[in-house]
Amino acid sequence: MKAKIYISYKEGILDPEGNISRKALNNIGLSEVNDVRFGKYIEMTFNGVSKEKAEELTQIACEKLLANHNTETFKFEIVES
Amino acid sequence: MRFAVLVFPGSNCDHDAYFVIRNILNSSVDFVWHKEHDLSNYDAIIIPGGFSYGDYLRAGAIARFSPIMESVIKEANDGKPVIGICNGFQILVESGLLPGTLMTNKKIKFLSQNVTLQTETTNSIFTRNLDNGQHLTMPIAHKQGNYFADENTLKKLQDNDQIAFTYAAINGGNPNGSVLDIAGIINEKRNVLGMMPHPERASENILNSKDGIAIFESMIGAS
């Protein structure tokens, strides 16, 4: 099983990298881009666990370590690896 | 008074802190490796600056699960003084001993410069030798020092007099975008201090400022 985890800043959290990248995208002619938010993508694989167990473990991993609950949100999907 | 200076892989201000306690304040101090489990023999704990675990994932996030941190949390909850400086502050917020988060600086740059701090409370073992509003000059050296907390948390910090230091509105003022210009906070029990600036690097005249020494002197009850 493989977890595909997406971590992003919560609404309202300042994202300086996103802001600067948005300006650069505007500067190269993509004037339609009005917001860029950076985040993290993490893949995590499991040996010999069910999909339900993988979901449970991924939830714990995100809550305890991978995401910062003060500033970040996360979502994930579990796929056959 | 016996100090412990914690050492994580990537700590780099551990020797500075050790030097201040031992050579300037003539107090007892040991390095304690992060794989140790017991801090009961110490009277105060210093979590030094540096780049524990290369700042991977988030600054302080991995160190927070080092074996020694269980003991730090236990001793802090028992009321023992704990000071986290720079990366130490980041570890303290990741561990939940202090509220909030230290985000990337507003201008996404590593900042290495002197700042002027303003003392916001003298009601703590770390600041009792200072005067309210007293300015202190000392360096910062960080990329993730932009303090953030939600409104409820900030209100609690203000109502409980938990803001220890702010960046004074002189010499460039707030360098990193921290909310309310916060440079250092203490916990509700007033025995845990986290601060981004480095008092241990400003504790001797040869370093151009000895303003930082007052914080360590406060801790040991000296004047």
**Where in chain B are the domains?**
2-220
B40-58 average pLDDT score: 96
The per-residue pLDDT for range A21-36, each reduced to its tens digit, is: 999 999 999 999 999 9
Q: Pick from B61, B94, B104: which is nearest to A16 by CB?
A: B104
B chain contacts of residue A5, beta-carbon cutoff 8 Å: none
User: Which of the four pLDDT bands, split at 50, 70 and 90, describes residue B222?
Assistant: low
Can you name the residues that pair with A40 across neighbouring β-strands? A7
B73-85 average pLDDT score: 97
Tokens 């202090």 locate to: B98
B chain contacts of residue A71, beta-carbon cutoff 8 Å: 101, 103, 148
Joined together, the tokens standing for residue B20 give 């201040």
Nearest Cα residue to B195 out of B207, B209, B210, B178:
B178
If you count residue pairs, one on A and one on B, with CB atoms under 8 Å apart, how many are there? 31
- A35 to chain B nearest CA, in Å? 17
The per-residue pLDDT for range B134-150, each reduced to its tens digit, is: 999 999 999 999 999 99
Query: Is-catalytic flag, B198?
Result: yes
| 8 A C-beta contact, residue B100 and residue B185 | yes
Which CATH number is A2-79 given?
3.30.1280.10
Residue of B34, B86, B120, B142 marked active site: B86
B82-96 average pLDDT score: 97
Which H or E run contains B181?
Answer: none
- Can you tell me the ipTM of this complex? 0.82
Joined together, the tokens standing for residue A16 give 């300086």
Q: What is the predicted pLDDT for the residue at A78?
A: 97
Query: Is-catalytic flag, B13?
Result: no
Sheet of A39-45: strands edge to edge?
A39-45, A2-9, A72-79
Q: Which of B65, B98, B104 to probe by mutation at the A interface, max A CB count within 10 Å?
A: B104
Q: What is the predicted pLDDT for the residue at B221?
A: 83
Q: State which residue of chain B sits closest to A39, comparing Cα positions.
A: B57
Q: Pick from B100, B108, B150: which is nearest to A16 by CB?
A: B108
CATH 3.40.50.880 applies to domain B2-220: yes
Joined together, the tokens standing for residue B35 give 């794989």
The per-residue pLDDT for range B98-155, each reduced to its tens digit, is: 999 999 999 989 999 999 999 999 999 999 999 999 999 999 999 999 999 999 999 9
Angle, vertex CA B63, rays to CA B153 and CA A56, nearest 5? 75
Instruction: For chain B, give the mean pLDDT.
Output: 96
A6-17 average pLDDT score: 91
